Amino acid sequence: MTAHHRDEVITVPRDEYEALKAEVRRLRRELGRQQALLAIMDNAANPGRLRTFTRDELAAEWGISG
Protein backbone atom coordinates (compact mmCIF):
# COMPACT_ATOMS: atom_id res chain seq x y z
CA MET A 1 0.00 0.00 0.00
CA THR A 2 1.29 3.46 -0.82
CA ALA A 3 1.29 6.39 1.54
CA HIS A 4 -1.12 9.19 0.67
CA HIS A 5 -0.55 12.84 1.16
CA ARG A 6 -3.30 14.54 3.11
CA ASP A 7 -4.42 16.53 0.05
CA GLU A 8 -4.93 13.28 -1.95
CA VAL A 9 -7.45 11.74 0.47
CA ILE A 10 -11.13 12.61 0.41
CA THR A 11 -13.99 11.70 2.71
CA VAL A 12 -17.34 10.60 1.31
CA PRO A 13 -20.39 10.33 3.56
CA ARG A 14 -21.51 6.69 3.95
CA ASP A 15 -25.00 7.29 2.54
CA GLU A 16 -23.54 8.90 -0.58
CA TYR A 17 -21.03 6.05 -0.92
CA GLU A 18 -23.81 3.45 -0.64
CA ALA A 19 -25.91 5.37 -3.18
CA LEU A 20 -22.98 5.40 -5.62
CA LYS A 21 -22.44 1.66 -5.16
CA ALA A 22 -26.15 1.03 -5.82
CA GLU A 23 -25.99 3.16 -8.97
CA VAL A 24 -22.96 1.21 -10.24
CA ARG A 25 -24.86 -2.07 -9.67
CA ARG A 26 -27.88 -0.70 -11.51
CA LEU A 27 -25.76 0.46 -14.45
CA ARG A 28 -24.01 -2.92 -14.65
CA ARG A 29 -27.37 -4.71 -14.74
CA GLU A 30 -28.63 -2.34 -17.43
CA LEU A 31 -25.52 -2.86 -19.52
CA GLY A 32 -25.83 -6.62 -19.09
CA ARG A 33 -29.43 -6.50 -20.30
CA GLN A 34 -28.42 -4.42 -23.31
CA GLN A 35 -25.61 -6.82 -24.18
CA ALA A 36 -27.96 -9.80 -23.82
CA LEU A 37 -30.54 -8.15 -26.08
CA LEU A 38 -27.90 -7.38 -28.71
CA ALA A 39 -26.70 -10.99 -28.56
CA ILE A 40 -30.26 -12.25 -29.01
CA MET A 41 -30.86 -9.93 -31.97
CA ASP A 42 -27.50 -10.92 -33.49
CA ASN A 43 -28.37 -14.59 -33.08
CA ALA A 44 -31.72 -14.02 -34.80
CA ALA A 45 -29.88 -12.44 -37.74
CA ASN A 46 -27.09 -15.08 -37.73
CA PRO A 47 -28.47 -18.35 -36.30
CA GLY A 48 -25.98 -20.76 -34.74
CA ARG A 49 -23.61 -18.16 -33.29
CA LEU A 50 -25.23 -17.81 -29.87
CA ARG A 51 -22.90 -18.27 -26.88
CA THR A 52 -24.36 -19.89 -23.76
CA PHE A 53 -23.04 -18.67 -20.41
CA THR A 54 -23.18 -20.37 -17.04
CA ARG A 55 -24.62 -18.57 -14.03
CA ASP A 56 -21.10 -18.16 -12.58
CA GLU A 57 -19.75 -16.73 -15.86
CA LEU A 58 -22.56 -14.17 -15.99
CA ALA A 59 -22.06 -13.23 -12.34
CA ALA A 60 -18.33 -12.72 -12.96
CA GLU A 61 -18.95 -10.60 -16.07
CA TRP A 62 -21.54 -8.46 -14.30
CA GLY A 63 -19.43 -8.09 -11.15
CA ILE A 64 -21.97 -9.71 -8.83
CA SER A 65 -21.69 -12.73 -6.59
CA GLY A 66 -23.19 -15.96 -7.94
**Blockwise average pLDDT, block size 10, the chain, 66 residues:** 69 95 95 88 74 85 78
pTM of the model: 0.53
CA separation for the pair 65, 6 (Å, rounded): 34
Q: Is 41 left (phi over 0), alpha (psi -120 to 50) or beta?
A: alpha
